[in-house]
């Protein structure tokens, strides 16, 4: 037996509230993913689902929203490790909210 429409609505609202609270708790400026979650190996499933995936998507949207001068300064200050060298180049492929 599944959730009732009311239970599903309540669950969804709680989930979105928790997610919004998590996003609001992140540092500003954001840390690159490999610094935010150093325990998740590059290329692992941890980046393809759950918090890792959420963070990467949020990071890419945030990065693309920076003015180009700030993007350049950020990439200079936080160069991507070899296994992450794609992230700054592909950030523009993520839809902004």
pLDDT for 7: 86
Whether 1 shows a pLDDT value over 70: the answer reads no
> Is residue 88 within 8 Å of 71, Cβ to Cβ?
yes
21 is a domain residue: no
Query: Phi and psi dihedrals of 16, rounded to 5?
Result: -65, -35
Residue 2 belongs to some domain of the structure: no
Residue 10 maps to a domain: no
On whether residue 5 sits in a domain, the answer given is no
pLDDT at residue number 70: 96
| Separation CA 9–CA 11 (nearest Å) | 6
Segment 13-69, tens digit of pLDDT? 998 888 888 888 888 899 999 999 999 999 899 999 988 999 999 999 999 999 999
DSSP state of 43: T
Residue 33 placed within a domain: yes
Q: Would you say residue 16 lies in a domain?
A: no
Q: What is the pLDDT of residues 59-94, one digit of tens each?
A: 999 999 999 999 999 999 999 999 999 999 888 887
Dump the DSSP string for 10-40: HHHHHHHHHHHHHHHHS-SSPPPHHHH-TTS
Give the domain range for residue 85: 28-93
How many domains would you assign to the chain?
A: 1
């Amino acid at each position: 037996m599944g959730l009732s429409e009311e239970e599903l609505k309540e669950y969804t609202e709680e989930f979105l509230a928790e997610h919004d609270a998590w996003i609001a708790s992140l540092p500003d400026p954001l840390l690159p993913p490999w610094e935010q979650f150093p325990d998740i190996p590059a290329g692992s499933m941890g980046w393809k689902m759950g918090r890792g995936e959420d963070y990467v998507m949020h990071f890419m949207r945030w990065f693309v929203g920076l003015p180009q001068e700030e993007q350049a300064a950020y990439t200079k200050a936080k160069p991507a490790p070899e296994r992450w060298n794609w992230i700054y180049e592909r950030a523009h492929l993520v839809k902004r909210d």
